[in-house]
Each structure stands twice: as C-alpha cells, then as structure tokens.
Amino acid sequence: MGKVSLEGIEFHAFHGVFSEEKKLGNRFTVDIHVETNFKKAMLEDDLHETVDYSRLYQIAKGHMQEPVKLLEHLGHLMIDDIIKAYPKLQRVEIIIKKHNPALGGVVDYSVVKVSYPEDYQ
C-alpha cells in the first residue's frame, strides 16, 4: 500500500453561507491524500498503475470553482469524483482550510477533514 498526496493547493473561491463570502470570496488551502496499491507502478514505471496527481489537482480545481455553502459538502464532492476516477483506492482524505473565516475575531483558518471510507459509513 502506498500514499499519493498533494498538500497546500491554494485557491481563491466563493464557498460559504454568508453573503460576504459569496461576494468577496476567500483564500482556501486543500490537501488531498489517497492510499492505493502502486507496487506495479514502482516496478514498471507506469503512470497508469498509480494515481496521477495532476488529475487530482484538476478535480479539486473544478470543485473550487463551483460555490457551495459547506466545506463538508465540498470535500464529499471531491471524494466522489476521485473515487470515480480511481475506483480501486483504499482511502481518500480531503482537508480544506478556509483562511481568515469571518467570525468576528482573529482566526488563521477553519478546517474540515472528510475521509473515505470513514465518513461514508
């Protein structure tokens, strides 16, 4: 079993419940971690035998461009598309950070972590 990750992917997006968030947007950071068996890729040097992290990036980018209210829902949408692209994955974890959330005080970021299969049971 191996892990493929993308960490610190940054986007400006318009996710949130409040009208200011939908209008002004905010800075988000996304981390994607997937676990799969990539032994054949290690031995044969074949991208088709592992997870193409450029595809993971494109999935995240696509969902960041479509505003939703909740980061939990956003993580779920990303996981669904990742699993569709790579059905043999053993585990997927999405971590989404919203920088400087509008809470009336100083907060670096809020964080939501969604995992498959854990949060899907």
In 3-state terms, what secondary structure has residue 104? coil
Q: Give which of 66, 49, 60 is closest to 93, Cα–Cα.
A: 60
Cα–Cα distance, 47 to 73 (Å, whole number): 30
Is 97 noted as a catalytic residue in this protein?
Answer: no
SS3 state at 68 = coil
Catalytic residue among 23, 40, 61, 98: 98
Quick one: tokens of 48? 């088709």
- How far apart are alpha carbons 119 and 7 in whole angstroms? 21
Q: Which residues are catalytic?
A: 98
